[in-house]
Structure 1
């Protein structure tokens, strides 16, 4: 999956919405909006970093020697 391609944007939006709603609806604190936004943004950033790492080694022509 290409980073910041169409599929990545769609998955990021779905992840943001799910995390935001889970934290906003399930919280009874005063600052539930701020907490929900921070958690959703952190989830999307973590997803992007994970996809970047996964995509980085996808087309590697020289794998490490004696991997196992």
Structure 2
């Protein structure tokens, strides 16, 4: 999956929506909007970093020898 491609943006929006709703609807504190936004943004950033690391070694022609 290409970073910031169509599929990445769709998955990021779905991840943001799920995390935001889970935190917003399940929280009864006074600052529930701020907490939900921060958690959803952190989830999307973590997803993007994970996909970047995953795609970094995807087309590597010389993988490390005896990796395991």
**TM superposition score category, shorter chain reference:** over 0.9
1:67 maps to 67
- In the TM superposition, what is the alpha-carbon distance from 1:61 to its structure 2 partner? 0.3
Gapped regions of structure 1 (runs ≥ 5): none
Q: What TM-score comes out, normalization by structure 1 length?
A: 0.98
1:36 maps to 36
Q: What TM-score comes out, normalization by structure 2 length?
A: 0.98
| Alpha-carbon displacement from aligned partner over 1:7-57 (angstroms, at most 9, x marks no partner) | 000000000000000000000000000000000000000000000000000
Moved over 4 A (4+): none
Gapped regions of structure 2 (runs ≥ 5): none
1:57 maps to 57
Across the aligned residues of Structure 1 and Structure 2, the Cα RMSD in angstroms comes to 0.4
Aligned residues: 68
